A and B are shown apart, each in its own frame.
Chain A
Amino acid sequence: MSTGSVEVVYRGIFQKTLAKNICRGIVFAARKEGKIGTAFGRYGDSPERNGIPAKQFAVVSDTEEELEEHLAKYEPVNNDVTIAADDALCKGIESWAWYGLQPINKLLGDGGTLLVTSIQSPNKLIKTIHRKGTPYNLAIVKAQASFSGLWAYKDDHTDVRLLGALAKVAPHIVSLDAMLEAIRDQWNDDLKVAAAKRAYEATESTPVGVDQGNDEVPFSFDLPGWTKMEEGLVIRGMDAKPQDVPGRDGGYVPTRNEVFKKFSTRTMRPVINFDTCTKCTLCWLNCPDTCFDITPDGFYDANMEACCGCGVCEAVCPVKDCVTMVNEEAFEDNDSQWEMWTKDKEGYLAWLTKNITERPARSHGYHHVGQYAEEIADGTA
């Protein structure tokens, strides 16, 4: 008599189909072993938005009663496994609904496993993950984040590789044999079965202790009770006056929504070369998220608490290599680039040059017809 639950944390829209494939795969495999299960998305994540972290779950039980007990929840807690198909999610997730920043391991049970696709080493990845009061395991499937798409789906086998790895880290939920059988049933593809099996063999777990990880306290806020809400569904507007930033005389830093910051949506961030910037205003003017602060000396500084990493600033910048999108894994904080530059221009240039020349491959969704076929063929996926 037991129940197992798996949480899949994913990038809204980009990885919706991928998350669905994983959760369905778990349930189908469990059925092969005579268990029953169900897969569902978290209501609060709908309507999904590109890049904003969302969740789907798979719950597997021996009996219908146990399954129903688990389904009477908004989101299952104490999960056996949390899967993240993008390692940038390890920095914490601010979902569409009302949460603040959740550590990626928050809903993981004692001794559970966090299963992540990443090309980073476990030690480097653990540093970005918030500390947890109970020990857990980190398992890595070596892969780039797969932004496999909603309709035009890039079948780079990330789905079955994660399913194979899951059978390794949580055999009590589903065995490898059942998983391979379910994969064969669903896709009828020997390559996918082989990929799952290889991932099963290659996956190793690293134990993570209570004293390991990022010790920063993630931002949170108090939910207003009904007595604090105003009549007629009134929401207080933003202040039209700019923020008063200590030490900054002049410039313009807009007041920003304190309870939805959106930066955990980001998988890449703009890095700005202030030495070549011509102050043309285009990044600032075209940013849908109003993330650029105007500095006292008239530069535009992308505020990393507000930037969601869409890349429009890079696209509109008329100067070559002035704005460059760099994978989020290169950064440990959300500090102001302009302040860094004003303090030490040479040091900043060295930091910038390193980031834009050594940047890992980036992926951010659909670009053109045939792109996914090309990526899979040349193995860059």
Chain B
Amino acid sequence: MLDENTDRNQESFEDYLSTQVLDPWKGPKKVPAEEYYTSGHRTCQGCESAQLMKLMAKAGGPRSIILGSTGCMYVANTTYYSTPWAVPWMHTQLGSAGSSAVGTAAGLRAMMRKGKMAKEPINVIAVCGDGGGADMGLSAISAALQHTQYNLLILMYDNESYANTDIQVSGSSPWGANSTFSPPGSARRIMNRRWKKNTAAMLAAGHPDCKYVATVNTAYPVDTMNMVRKALTIGGPTFIHSLDPCPKGWDYDPMYSHELGELAVETGIWPLYEVEEGKLKMCGKSRRIVSGQFKRKPVREYLTRQGRFAHFIDEDFDYFQAKIDDMWEKWLIPGVIPFAEA
């Protein structure tokens, strides 16, 4: 015990704060061939969350530990004694992506401090769905983002419902979407009357010490990987929120998985941005929407391709469009902060 305390006094927190330096890949042809999340997962055809796992594992590289809270990316990837993961992965409970990430980072540091493993920067990435992250695990994620002495990334794959357990509504489900808990009927057409939770911006605004918060979309795979690499390189607790088109929960032909991701950005429904060391930067097409170089497509193009909005009538499309227009024209920070000065 005495030796341990002595060690602790001699080495400061900073000795363990170095990260792997993961430079961005300049274009798809520079992306390496190595796969750390491979074939043979039990996901749907065209699952963009599986695509996100593949990109994240590729971006993090072999010296990574992945923690998965309950959700599709747990159930489909480790059930029945087989897995597509080629890097260490551990299951954690539904709401505990944040706490498991802190615990793992702290555990690694303790092992290194005690000389039980070689001192090296290891990526700790906790993965959660919108149910596990934006609903149940929000407080644990908030706590993790306050633990600035640890390096960890929390990656939220948001497919806008509890799709794994057969599509129940979540805090991330869009207004009006059909789900097991919000089926449209003759008495009431719109059952989910809540607007989608603004998770990434909430976490960025609420945790000033967090050095990196970003939104991504797998329709832009190189950008997505580079943002994961930036989050892991910058250090401290970081958070990335990904919108993943879900053929099961959104009810569409799986071949549209990529196109719907692009449309979510192009219609302005899904803004891409990063908050790096206190500075906001809009990214990709969202940046061009703000600067006026790209005209937002009508939301109808995105909504009509999905069976979950098949019950929409004109006034529903109009309402949805008006809410999106507000987001870019009336919000304090367009696409990010959802209020204006009184």
Q: Is A366 an interface residue (CB 8 A)?
A: yes
User: Within residues 41 to 77 of chain A, which ones have a CB less than 8 A from any CB in chain B?
Assistant: 46-52
B259 to chain A, nearest CB (A): 6
- Is there contact, CB below 8 Å, between A252 and B33? yes
- Is there contact, CB below 8 Å, between A237 and B83? yes
Which of these, B79, B81, B251, contacts A366 with CB under 8 Å? B251
Residues A288 and B253 in contact in the complex (CB < 8 Å), given A238-B84, A238-B86, A240-B36:
no
- Is there contact, CB below 8 Å, between B45 and A310? yes
Complex alpha-carbon distance, A51 and B247, angstroms: 10
A109 to chain B, nearest CB (A): 27
User: Within residues 314 to 365 of chain A, which ones have a CB less than 8 A from any CB in chain B?
Assistant: 314-316, 325, 364-365
Contact pattern, A 169-200, Cβ under 8 Å of B = 1, otherwise 0: 00000000000000000000000000000000
- Is there contact, CB below 8 Å, between A151 and B39? no
B40 to chain A, nearest CB (A): 2
Residues in B whose Cβ lies below 8 Å from that of A98 = 80-81
Which of these, A258, A309, A316, contacts B45 with CB under 8 Å? A309
Residues in A whose Cβ lies below 8 Å from that of B33 = 242, 252, 294
Which of these, B28, B85, B252, B258, contacts A312 with CB under 8 Å? B258
Residues in A whose Cβ lies below 8 Å from that of B36 = 240
- Is there contact, CB below 8 Å, between A255 and B28? no
Q: Is B94 an interface residue (CB 8 A)?
A: no
A128 to chain B, nearest CB (A): 20
- Is there contact, CB below 8 Å, between B251 and A152? yes
> Of all chain B residues, which has the CB nearest A265?
B45
Q: Is B62 an interface residue (CB 8 A)?
A: yes
A248 to chain B, nearest CB (A): 13
Residues A365 and B254 in contact in the complex (CB < 8 Å), given A49-B42, A49-B43:
yes
- Is there contact, CB below 8 Å, between B50 and A288? yes
Pick the interface stretch among B131-139, B268-276, B299-307, B333-341.
B299-307
Pick the interface stretch among A19-27, A82-90, A208-216, A278-286.
A278-286
Complex alpha-carbon distance, A182 and B306, angstroms: 33
Residues in B whose Cβ lies below 8 Å from that of A47 = 72, 75, 164-166
Residues in A whose Cβ lies below 8 Å from that of B3 = none
Residues in B whose Cβ lies below 8 Å from that of A366 = 251-253, 306-307, 310
Interface size class of B (residues with CB under 8 A): 35 or more
Complex alpha-carbon distance, A306 and B45, angstroms: 12
Residues in B whose Cβ lies below 8 Å from that of A49 = 42-45, 47, 76, 248
Residues A315 and B85 in contact in the complex (CB < 8 Å), given A151-B310, A288-B46:
no
- Is there contact, CB below 8 Å, between A285 and B221? yes
**What are 22 A-B residue pairs whose CB atoms fall within 8 Å in the complex?**
A47-B75, A48-B248, A49-B47, A49-B76, A50-B248, A149-B307, A224-B81, A237-B85, A240-B86, A240-B87, A242-B34, A257-B38, A257-B41, A281-B31, A285-B31, A285-B221, A290-B35, A306-B40, A311-B255, A312-B46, A312-B255, A369-B312
Q: Is B29 an interface residue (CB 8 A)?
A: yes
Complex alpha-carbon distance, A173 and B166, angstroms: 32
- Is there contact, CB below 8 Å, between B310 and A315? no
Complex alpha-carbon distance, A51 and B310, angstroms: 21
Q: Which 5 pairs across A and B sit closest by C-beta, in order of nearness?
A: A257-B40, A311-B255, A310-B46, A50-B44, A152-B307
